Amino acid sequence: MKPSAGWVLCTIAGLLACQSPPDPQGGSGMAALTRVQPGQTRAVTSSDEDLNSNYDRRTYIEPGETMVLADIQGPATVNHIWLTFSEARPNWLEAGGSANPAEIVLRMYWDNHPEPSVEAPLGDFFAAGFGLRQEVRSLPVQVEGGDGYNAFWQMPFFQRGLITVTNEGEKNVRSFYYQIDYTQADHLPEGTAYFHAQYRQEFPETLGKDYLILDAEGQGHYVGTVMSVQSRSPYWFGEGDARIYVDGDTAPSIQGTGTEDYFLSAWGLDEHLYPYFGCTYLSDDPSNLGMRATMYRWHIEDPIRFQESLRFEIEHTGWISADETETGEVDGHVQREDDIATVAFWYQVGHGKRFTTLPSLAERTFPDHDLIVQGRDLLPSAHHSRGTLELQAGYDWTGDGQLFFAPSSGSAFLEVDFPVAEEELRGLVLRLTHGPDYGRYRVFLDGTEVTELADYPDWNPRGARDFYSPQVEVRDLYLGSYTLSPGAHTLRFEAAGANPLSVGDNMGLDSVRLRERWHKQRPSLRPADGGEGPYGPSTTSEDPGDPEGR
């Protein structure tokens, strides 16, 4: 991911000017460096006991195995965690790849409490969902190149700190390195708060009630949220307001203005990385069916304090296409049912209430809503202009691989047929490869060029699709939702010239996907008198390219 504009200036200013929350041993950001504090710095690492050895890793964490990273006697405060491990894709260390970050569970236990105070998939804890390895550049969490995982949360305990990782995947975790830095102290101040982080999910969100992020009892402050979303309807998912109930308030103590507003973005969403907020992953246009996104928001300068309890919920309202509304018109204020997963971060005095438990790996893997026609099944029907067409295997592609087309003439085309078994409304998605030698192509469905998405008539028409990328990437191209008749349907791709930066006009079709749609009509949440309500009037003339409808 490229650095966001202003990242360098923002980071320097933030690190110099900001004051981190005081830690229990007297530190407070860079200002604390002028004062020598009591205590001794220690570290637990994966280094071999033989100091002359270079065997500084745990070679394997086997499927089902729980490994203790640290078992530290207190009083002490963990100041920093660094770790890394081999990636999931095949590599020089492990020909078959290893477990991905969603398959590794991180848990932390303070002072012999039987329940973990921290429980989350490792990737989600480090602000990257969907089992991906993503770069993160924030103040408390930093992941270099998607490989070097760092957490700078202060994690104090009085008697014992136990940190474990569990491999819930089917493959080994390969070459796991770690270092956990902590400060040993004679005592901690009375009332020192424990660090907590808890994963939760709903696949899909529950109709009739807001999504719960945290339900805490006691005294403390809320310090952060990681959220991953997979959309299950076309149009913008993120109109839901954050609703935070402090100390038993029956009405929201804090009522937000929208999901991306809570994550400190505006007018939609794109990938960006800042010290206190960011979007580490955005798979597609935020309005497209099946879009995936992961966002983070740290309340370091603005912790949400509570003396008795804190309940943090967020609406799951947004825009939705006309086929899913009772009025038959596009509506910007209805309750959606997307797939969502969150991690809540907070500090509190004493051990937190167990308001949820971690689902199994199978249950917490984001569901696949596609009927898939792989490249191997498209190959028998394929017709093309002069050039080569082959099934190309690789980790990034579905099943046996992609259809790779290397044309040898300027007027190139490729045609494939895909089957439809049942007549029903589904999203039509093409999974396509982008790369440094890939070209631009026009797309036709059953003889008609697809220049606009069927869900968004007269909005943002497009001509040729550009499959150039500086690095090889596999992305989804959403063509809109269709009710296709049973039988064979034809996709045709016609070359439309190369991107000036591309060194070729190749094309790679991984698969054709028919993505599941909700077959239900939702009531509008706008005022019953037909007034405008908070989002303006309901009408198909509003531009869904402006997700806030402002």
HEC letters along 187-229: CCCCCCCEEEEEEEEECCCCCCCCEEEEEEECCEEEEEEEEEE
Cα separations (Å) of 416 from 96, 238, 413, 489? 31, 36, 10, 8
111 three-state secondary structure: coil
pLDDT at 51: 76
Question: Residue 22 — very low, low, confident or very high, per pLDDT cuts 50/70/90?
Answer: very low
What would the pLDDT profile of 320-360 be if each residue is shown by its tens digit?
999 999 999 999 999 999 999 999 999 999 999 999 999 99
Report residue 230: phi and psi, to 5°: -120, 120
Q: Do residues 307 and 253 lie in contact, with contact meaning Cβ atoms separated by under 8 Å?
A: no
What would the pLDDT profile of 290-322 be if each residue is shown by its tens digit?
999 999 999 999 999 999 999 999 999 999 999
pLDDT at 429: 97
Distance between CA atoms of residues 98 and 77, nearest Å: 32
pLDDT at 538: 35
- Which pair of structure tokens corresponds to residue 482? 């269709």
Q: Residues 405-442, buried b or exposed e (16+ Cβ, 10 A)?
A: bbbeeeebbbbbbbbbeeeebbbbbbbbbbbeebbbbb
Give the burial class of 239: count Cβ atoms within 10 A of its Cβ; 0-12 exposed, 13-18 middle, 19 or more buried.
buried
Distance of CA 494 to the CA centre of its chain: 34
Q: Do residues 233 and 324 lie in contact, with contact meaning Cβ atoms separated by under 8 Å?
A: yes
pLDDT at 7: 41
pLDDT at 498: 80
Question: By mean pLDDT, which of 9-23, 26-40, 522-536 is the weakest?
Answer: 9-23
What would the pLDDT profile of 40-65 be if each residue is shown by its tens digit?
999 999 987 777 767 777 888 999 99
Mean pLDDT, the chain, as a whole number?
Answer: 90
**276 vs 51, higher pLDDT:** 276
- The DSSP secondary structure of 74-99, one letter per residue, reads SSEEEEEEEEE---SS--SS-TT---
Q: Is the pLDDT of residue 237 over 60?
A: yes
Q: What is the mean pLDDT of residues 230-255?
A: 96
**158 vs 1, higher pLDDT:** 158
Q: What is the mean pLDDT of residues 367-373?
A: 97
- Which pair of structure tokens corresponds to residue 255? 């009522």
Q: Domains in the chain and their CATH numbers?
A: 18-192 (2.60.120.1390), 198-355+521-550 (2.60.120.1390), 370-516 (2.60.120.260)
Distance between CA atoms of residues 123 and 230, nearest Å: 16
Q: What is the mean pLDDT of residues 156-161?
A: 98
Q: Is the pLDDT of residue 17 over 70?
A: no
Question: Residue 459 — very low, low, confident or very high, per pLDDT cuts 50/70/90?
Answer: low
102 three-state secondary structure: helix
Partners of 44 in the β-ladder: 180
Contacts with 34 (C-beta within 8 Å, 6 or more apart), sequence order? none
Q: Do residues 298 and 227 lie in contact, with contact meaning Cβ atoms separated by under 8 Å?
A: no
User: Residue 453: which of 330, 278, 318 has the closest Cα?
Assistant: 330
User: Residue 237: which of 164, 303, 329, 317 has the closest Cα?
Assistant: 317
What would the pLDDT profile of 473-528 be if each residue is shown by its tens digit?
999 999 999 999 999 999 999 999 889 999 999 999 999 999 999 999 999 998 76
Residue 257, Cβ neighbours under 10 Å: how many? Answer: 13
Distance between CA atoms of residues 526 and 317, nearest Å: 11
pLDDT at 542: 40
Share of the chain above pLDDT 70, in %: 89
Q: How, if at all, do strands 304-306 and 507-516 pair? A: unpaired
Q: How far apart are the first and last CA of the chain?
A: 30
Question: Residue 545 — very low, low, confident or very high, per pLDDT cuts 50/70/90?
Answer: very low
- Which pair of structure tokens corresponds to residue 370? 């596609």
Q: How, if at all, do strands 194-202 and 118-121 pair? A: parallel
What would the pLDDT profile of 204-213 be if each residue is shown by its tens digit?
999 999 999 9
Distance between CA atoms of residues 535 and 381, nearest Å: 48
Quote the pTM value: 0.91
Distance between CA atoms of residues 419 and 147, nearest Å: 41
Distance between CA atoms of residues 398 and 413, nearest Å: 23
Q: Is the pLDDT of residue 196 over 80?
A: yes
What would the pLDDT profile of 397-449 be if each residue is shown by its tens digit?
999 999 999 999 778 999 999 999 999 999 999 999 999 999 999 999 999 99
Distance between CA atoms of residues 367 and 435, nearest Å: 27
Q: Do residues 242 and 262 lie in contact, with contact meaning Cβ atoms separated by under 8 Å?
A: yes
Q: Is the pLDDT of residue 203 over 90?
A: yes
Residue 114, Cβ neighbours under 10 Å: how many? Answer: 7
User: Residue 226: which of 274, 180, 158, 278 has the closest Cα?
Assistant: 278
Q: Is the pLDDT of residue 539 over 50?
A: no
* H-helix or E-strand spanning residue 261: helix 259-262
What would the pLDDT profile of 95-125 be if each residue is shown by its tens digit?
888 999 999 999 999 999 999 999 999 999 9
123 three-state secondary structure: helix
* H-helix or E-strand spanning residue 240: none
Distance of CA 315 to the CA centre of its chain: 18
pLDDT at 452: 81
Q: Is the pLDDT of residue 547 over 90?
A: no
pLDDT at 37: 86
3-state secondary structure string, 7-50?
Answer: HHHHHHHHHHHCCCCCCCCCCECEHHHHCCCCCEEEEEECCCCC
